[in-house]
Structure 1
């Protein structure tokens, strides 16, 4: 029997609250399963890793997921994070998978370059079995967290090249080509019935 939609959405809203408040890595980790082991993957080319080391590779287990968020915080800061209304989310109750979009202002810390970005999450939930008897049955938590973001803007920001009209136009055009940014690219149009994503892949 599929998990009721309110139960799925409750877990997502809890995760959103943590991100929107700028929570620390330990607080964010509390929203992930310990068993089964969690996985985080931010999609993008591995060739970007010298400037964006959190892109294009799997981070697995609680240690790996913690590393992802620590590295992300080392390179980027963000503010004004908001998410689309839950009516616009794509929810698959059979596979406990939810797709949604958010928007935030990101800054590459070393250069100080900032950009407004729309990103997409695909989250798969699982019952957290815990690591020991007192922790068993912790409820639905995030087991797989996948992100599609504007890696083109992030790369330019890492080089200090986001200033000026030409750069802004390049980022806009690249984002539309990827089908990641823009209100005229609804998330439901980018997802097939199998919840696959047609953008960049790592």
Structure 2
């Protein structure tokens, strides 16, 4: 019989695979608890993107979160790894990598992001948290990402060039 840790990792992998494979929202939501109060929260300033800094509560709220993401962003080459499990607290942290595109502007960026998933007793997600590159998302949203990437904006100057 699989240990709690193994079950949590397997549940996380199934959810991450569904996301990476661009499963429909119903398939994504099937990984969430039907018995517990659930929520989704992507950390960041609400002013930067409509899916940041807001709690999406209940099944309809979580559905709304994924609908907003799907309406604004496309993604490719999503991979996950480095699973950190707290079996006692029923939490899994996982790191992901991929390329995201803001659909309206067509601007893309490579990103490393992290999920923290809290699970119920049936290995279903009850709390979904995301930490991602909200700065790149915002710049892509307003069509300025490539400009900033190609310019000198925000670059740290080396000591050798500090006197320039």
The normalised TM-score by structure 2 is 0.87
| 2:104 aligned residue | 110
1:160 to 1:96, Cα distance in 2 relative to 1, 3 A:
same
| Correspondence 1:117-128 to 2 at 5 A | 117-127=111-121
Whole-angstrom CA distance in 1 between matches of 2:155 and 2:74: 21
RMSD value over aligned CA atoms? 1.9
How many residue pairs are counted as aligned between the two chains? 154
| 2:26 aligned residue | 26
Whole-angstrom CA distance in 1 between matches of 2:24 and 2:155: 31
| 2:59 aligned residue | 62
- 1:78 matches 2:61: no
1:171 to 1:68, Cα distance in 2 relative to 1, 3 A:
farther
| 2:50 aligned residue | 53
What is the aligned counterpart of 2:130 among 135, 138, 147?
A: 147
Whole-angstrom CA distance in 2 between matches of 1:172 and 1:146: 30
SS of 1:23's equivalent in the other structure is coil
Structure exhibiting the larger radius of gyration computed from Cα positions:
2
1:82 to 1:168, Cα distance in 2 relative to 1, 3 A:
farther
SS of 1:71's equivalent in the other structure is helix
| Correspondence 1:152-163 to 2 at 5 A | 152-163=135-146
SS of 1:140's equivalent in the other structure is coil
| Alignment check: 8 A CA contact 1:162 1:168 kept | no
Comparing 16-25 with 3-12, which one deviates more in the overlay? Answer: 3-12
Whole-angstrom CA distance in 1 between matches of 2:151 and 2:66: 27
Whole-angstrom CA distance in 2 between matches of 1:158 and 1:18: 25
The normalised TM-score by structure 1 is 0.71
Higher strand share: 2
Whole-angstrom CA distance in 2 between matches of 1:171 and 1:103: 23
